[in-house]
């Protein structure tokens, strides 16, 4: 298990593609792992205090990581625990393992993820489980749970897996969705625009597009694209 | 001064086939041995290396509003970083490259001249801004004429003098190099939601047909005697059965002659060589087209080879782009350029197992193999058919049947019955492939100082780690495919730009444009132009076009 603590308060964002694999590397490799601080390439130990406790595949990020991007990118297994807030793109392209964020998450949590689990105890911002701009498919499998509120764009072009928001969310839920399930316990804005398949369950109030047809248990659409996606009230 | 020593030279224009000789360079030009002081020369040891002229890409979409809209609508293309900024500029892009990347990647491949294939006239200022940002290579841009209202008018009136005046005026204003024609009449029909379907379909609201537009433009172009012929993107592009339209179009110019070059260049013919009646029974019409092209001595074509992988379709053929969008469901941008035409952009990925894509791939190769090497230019219609960085792959494929057989194994079996590719035994020689990438495109464009290594030519030279006397391209296709990607040297205007595949520095090439005003009476269309601008354009006539002093390195070619 590795514990990372910021050595100072960061002025600009950091791009650190760290995964639990790092904990299994040699102390030398860990210290010299390359990360970007703004436009400068740095060694991990220049920015973080590193404590190594055995080679269990686990990272503990202790302190303010709200400017640290790409944590857990493409990870396969193991665990990351973020004690505070986390920066953008956390768990993007993730294939397995678990990320627990005890604070808030920035944009692009679990973008294009293919497996594994992400739990955000606080709030998450926009673009959860979405496809990066220009790409055809967002989240394919796995699970993202946000215990607080979420921003706009959730599960855009999602093809599988589950996104659950326990609080409320913003606009554009499941746009161009092709599969999988989005659950919003609170309120949200427009849902299901151009969706082809998949299910959106909503607990609170939401804005229904005129391109959805009423069915027994909810609505089906988006008819603009001959979609058979479902919006169901819970 | 350079002394390129002991190289094995292949120079089709001057009939040199793999002869060991020295090349001398002074002041950016190739000179005779006695014109240099050998002790002042920097010696380049080209012993057992292939020495050829820098490549000439005569049809690629490298600058202007189309590729830029492509970049905007495809952010995913910009996730490939080829080079971070340092001594040279940052360069990015998977297939749709940034302007610096375009110049760098051409130079890295041994290419030194590239022609932007379609400039919407009103977009000329933008096109030249971007051409000015492309390093190393020499450039030119072809101005699109085929759907411009004045062209319809003068073609309908059979007013040859005014047509000539208009071409001369337009080339000067757009700093264009030649007359590009895209789906003549069809893009205008698209303004009403339609298209033209054959050479005799009348253009809506104009009593003129594609046949008349093409014929009038070719005749005007020949009377002006421009360096380049009319450069035609045929009607019905991308429609099964269109090979007949292509053949009919080619035959329009039989009887028209020019002693120094073709009178019609038909571009990216792969997209216009489909037989069949629908996408279900589509087949290759390449063999029939090849027969016609080979039987005529005044027409040239380029391949428009499809490369498996990512590409972006972008043409001034707006109705075709809409069809493609409906066919693939991919993103689509439509552009309307006032009374001049339009354009469309649609991302596409060519997949080997997709029968239609495999067919397109095969047709490009059929054209390259079946048409004689002095009339077919190697091209991918970048980025429509794929990246120009794959030219070495195409070169190797043309030279090796064994490589083609290997590649045929991985593509859809549909090509086995729908094309003649599996049966084609032709293996182009190195000499022929150098012709198709150097001397021929230079001749087709009318760029006399390009594409060869004779005295007086620009010192644009590529040196590859290949010894033609010791190479069997038919079996060593992997060597060909590898080495043409990494020249030992790329020399541009006598300066070493690339060594062992690495860029050493950035230089700025010329932008050629053609001034034909002496051959026509531009004054005769003065009042017509004023009327067009007052009645139909969003800009005033005096604000239209590109001034020469805005350009980084303009090179005016005057037609006398």
- The pTM for the full model equals 0.93
A176 to chain B: which residues are within 8 Å by CB? none
User: Do B199 and B313 fall within a single domain?
Assistant: yes
A127 to chain B: which residues are within 8 Å by CB? none
Residue B86 in contact with partner chain A when CB distance is under 8 A: no
pLDDT of A55 reads 80
Whether residue B557 is contained in a domain is answered as: no
CA dihedral A68, A69, A75, A81 (to 10 degrees): 40
* ipTM for the whole complex: 0.82
CATH assignment of the domain containing B216: 3.20.20
pLDDT, tens digit (0-9, with 9 covering 90-100), for B158-196: 999 999 999 999 999 999 999 999 999 999 999 999 999
pLDDT < 70 regions, chain A: none
Residue B547 sits at the vertex; the CA angle it makes with B542 and B550, to the nearest 5 degrees, is: 135
Identify the domain boundary among B485, B503, B521. B503
Average pLDDT over residues B279-308: 97
**Beta carbons of B101 and B92 less than 8 angstroms apart:** yes
Evaluated on CA atoms B517, B523, B524, B527, the torsion sign reads: positive
Nearest CA in chain B to A225: B329
pLDDT, tens digit (0-9, with 9 covering 90-100), for B298-346: 999 999 999 999 999 999 999 999 999 999 989 999 999 999 999 999 9
Structural domain boundaries enclosing B6: 2-52+452-503
pLDDT of B223 reads 97
pLDDT of B24 reads 97
User: Do B148 and B289 fall within a single domain?
Assistant: yes
3-class state of residue B431 by DSSP:
helix
Residue B74 in contact with partner chain A when CB distance is under 8 A: yes
pLDDT of B353 reads 97
pLDDT of B200 reads 97
Nearest CA in chain B to A135: B76
A135 to chain B: which residues are within 8 Å by CB? 76
User: Do B481 and B386 fall within a single domain?
Assistant: no
B345 to chain A: which residues are within 8 Å by CB? none
CA distance to partner chain A, nearest, from residue B327 (Å): 15
Nearest CA in chain B to A132: B76
Identify the domain boundary among B401, B425, B445. B445
Q: What separation, in Å, do the N-terminal and C-terminal C-alpha atoms of chain A show?
A: 41
**Beta carbons of B318 and B344 less than 8 angstroms apart:** yes
Percent of chain B with pLDDT over 70: 100
DSSP string, A61-108: E-S-BTTEE-TTTT--SSEEEESS-B-TTTTTT--SSEEEESS-B-S-
pLDDT, tens digit (0-9, with 9 covering 90-100), for B20-68: 999 999 999 999 999 999 999 999 999 999 999 999 999 999 999 899 9
B86 to chain A: which residues are within 8 Å by CB? none
User: Do B457 and B343 fall within a single domain?
Assistant: no
Whether residue B513 is contained in a domain is answered as: no
pLDDT of B133 reads 97
pLDDT of B453 reads 98
Whether residue B546 is contained in a domain is answered as: no
B77 to chain A: which residues are within 8 Å by CB? 134
pLDDT of A54 reads 84
CATH assignment of the domain containing B29: 2.30.40.10
User: Do B334 and B476 fall within a single domain?
Assistant: no
Whether residue B532 is contained in a domain is answered as: no
User: Do B386 and B280 fall within a single domain?
Assistant: yes
User: Do B94 and B136 fall within a single domain?
Assistant: yes
Average pLDDT over residues B468-488: 97
User: Do B48 and B64 fall within a single domain?
Assistant: no
Read off the pLDDT band of B157 (50, 70, 90). Answer: very high
Sorted by sequence, the CB contacts under 8 Å of residue B91 that are 6+ apart come out as: B81, B82, B83, B97, B98, B100, B101, B104, B105
Nearest CA in chain A to B329: A225
pLDDT, tens digit (0-9, with 9 covering 90-100), for B441-461: 999 999 999 999 999 999 999
Sorted by sequence, the CB contacts under 8 Å of residue B203 that are 6+ apart come out as: B152, B185, B188, B189, B196, B209, B210, B213
pLDDT of B426 reads 97
User: Do B385 and B499 fall within a single domain?
Assistant: no
Nearest CA in chain A to B71: A134
pLDDT of B149 reads 97
Q: Where are the domains of chain A?
A: 2-233
pLDDT of B34 reads 95
Evaluated on CA atoms B364, B367, B373, B376, the torsion sign reads: negative
**Beta carbons of B74 and B97 less than 8 angstroms apart:** no
CA atoms of A130 and A210, how far apart (whole Å): 24
pLDDT, tens digit (0-9, with 9 covering 90-100), for B114-136: 999 999 999 999 999 999 999 99
B95 to chain A: which residues are within 8 Å by CB? none
Structure tokens at B450: 């390009």
Average pLDDT over residues B227-249: 97
User: Do B26 and B80 fall within a single domain?
Assistant: no
Q: Which residues of A lie closer than 8 Å to B, measured between beta carbons?
A: 132-135
Identify the domain boundary among B503, B521, B543. B503
pLDDT of B243 reads 98
3-class state of residue B498 by DSSP:
strand
Residue B452 sits at the vertex; the CA angle it makes with B449 and B458, to the nearest 5 degrees, is: 40
* Chain A with chain B: Cβ pairs closer than 8 A: 10
Average pLDDT over residues B380-404: 98
User: Between helices B286-295 and B355-370, what is the axis angle to 10°?
Assistant: 20
User: Do B42 and B72 fall within a single domain?
Assistant: no
CB within 8 Å: A133 and B77: no
Nearest CA in chain B to A131: B76
What's the structural domain count of chain B? Answer: 2
pLDDT of B329 reads 87
CB within 8 Å: A133 and B76: yes
Q: Tell which of B77, B79, B94 to mutate to test the A interface (max A CBs under 10 Å).
A: B79
């Amino acid at each position: 298990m590795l514990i990372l603590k910021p050595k100072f308060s960061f002025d600009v964002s950091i791009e650190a593609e760290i995964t639990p694999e790092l904990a299994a590397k040699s102390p030398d490799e860990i210290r010299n792992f390359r990360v970007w601080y703004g436009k400068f390439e740095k060694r991990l130990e220049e920015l973080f205090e590193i404590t190594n406790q055995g080679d269990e595949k686990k990272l503990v990020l202790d302190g303010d990581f709200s400017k640290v991007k790409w944590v857990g990118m493409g990870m396969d297994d193991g665990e990351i625990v973020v004690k505070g807030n986390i920066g953008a793109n956390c768990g993007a392209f993730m294939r397995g393992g678990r990320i627990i964020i005890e604070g808030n998450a920035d944009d692009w949590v679990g973008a294009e993820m293919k497996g594994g689990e992400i739990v955000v105890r606080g709030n998450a911002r926009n673009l959860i489980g979405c496809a990066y701009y220009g790409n055809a498919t967002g989240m394919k499998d796995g699970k993202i749970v946000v215990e607080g509120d979420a921003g706009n764009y959730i599960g855009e072009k999602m093809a599988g897996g589950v996104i659950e928001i326990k609080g409320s969310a913003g606009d554009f839920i499941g746009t161009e969705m092709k599969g999988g399930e989005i659950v919003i316990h609170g309120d949200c804005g427009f849902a299901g625009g151009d969706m082809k398949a998949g299910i959106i369950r909503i607990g609170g109030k939401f804005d229904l597009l005129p391109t959805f047809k009423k069915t027994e248990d909810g609505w089906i659409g988006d008819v603009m694209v001959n979609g058979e996606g479902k919006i169901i009230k819970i | 001064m350079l002394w390129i020593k002991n190289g094995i030279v292949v120079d089709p224009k001057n009939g040199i086939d793999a002869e060991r000789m020295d090349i001398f360079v002074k002041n950016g030009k190739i000179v005779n041995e006695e014109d240099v002081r050998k002790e002042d020369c920097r010696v380049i040891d080209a012993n057992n290396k292939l020495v050829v002229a820098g490549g000439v890409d005569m049809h690629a979409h490298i600058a202007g509003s189309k590729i830029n809209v492509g970049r905007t609508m495809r952010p995913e293309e910009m996730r490939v970083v080829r080079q971070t900024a340092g001594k040279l500029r940052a360069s990015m892009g998977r297939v749709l490259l940034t302007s610096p990347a375009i110049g760098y990647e051409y130079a890295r491949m041994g290419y030194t001249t590239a022609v932007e294939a379609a400039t919407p006239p009103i977009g000329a200022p933008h096109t030249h801004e971007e051409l000015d940002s492309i390093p190393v290579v020499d450039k030119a841009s072809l101005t699109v004429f085929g759907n411009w209202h004045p062209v319809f008018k003068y073609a309908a009136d059979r007013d040859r003098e005014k047509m000539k005046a208009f071409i001369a005026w337009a080339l000067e204003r757009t700093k264009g190099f030649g007359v590009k024609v895209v789906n003549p009449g069809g893009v205008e029909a698209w303004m009403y939601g339609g298209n033209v379907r054959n050479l005799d379909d009348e253009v809506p609201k104009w009593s003129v047909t594609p046949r008349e537009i093409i014929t009038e433009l070719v005749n005007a172009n020949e009377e002006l005697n421009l360096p380049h012929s009319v450069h035609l993107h045929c009607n019905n592009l991308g429609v099964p059965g269109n090979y007949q339209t292509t053949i009919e179009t080619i035959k329009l110019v039989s009887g028209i002659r020019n002693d120094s070059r073709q009178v019609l260049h038909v571009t990216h013919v792969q997209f216009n060589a489909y037989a069949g009646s629908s996408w279900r029974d589509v087949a290759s019409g390449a063999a029939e087209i090849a027969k016609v092209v080979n039987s005529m001595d005044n027409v040239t074509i380029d391949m428009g080879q499809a490369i498996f992988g990512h590409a972006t379709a972008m043409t001034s053929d707006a109705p075709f782009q809409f069809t493609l969008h409906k066919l693939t469901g991919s993103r689509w941008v439509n552009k309307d350029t006032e009374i001049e035409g339009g354009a469309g952009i649609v991302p596409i990925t060519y997949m080997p197992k997709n029968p239609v894509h495999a067919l397109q791939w095969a047709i490009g190769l059929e054209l390259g193999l079946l048409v004689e090497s002095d009339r077919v230019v190697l091209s991918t219609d970048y980025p429509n058919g794929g990246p120009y960085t794959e030219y070495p792959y195409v070169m190797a494929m043309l030279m090796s049947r064994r490589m083609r057989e290997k590649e045929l194994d991985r593509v859809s079996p549909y090509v086995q019955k729908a094309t003649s590719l599996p049966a084609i035994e032709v293996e182009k020689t190195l000499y022929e492939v150098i012709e198709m990438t150097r001397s021929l495109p230079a001749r087709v464009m009318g760029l006399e100082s390009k594409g060869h290594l004779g005295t007086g030519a620009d010192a644009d030279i590529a040196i590859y780690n290949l010894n033609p006397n010791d190479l069997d391209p038919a079996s060593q296709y992997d060597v060909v495919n590898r080495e043409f990607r990494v020249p030992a040297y790329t020399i541009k205007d006598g300066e070493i730009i690339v060594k062992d595949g690495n860029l050493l520095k950035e230089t700025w090439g010329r932008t050629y444009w053609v001034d034909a005003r002496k051959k026509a009476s531009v004054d005769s269309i003065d009042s017509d132009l004023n009327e067009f601008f007052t009645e139909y354009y969003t800009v005033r006539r005096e604000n239209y076009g590109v001034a020469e002093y805005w350009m980084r390195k303009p090179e005016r070619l005057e037609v006398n």
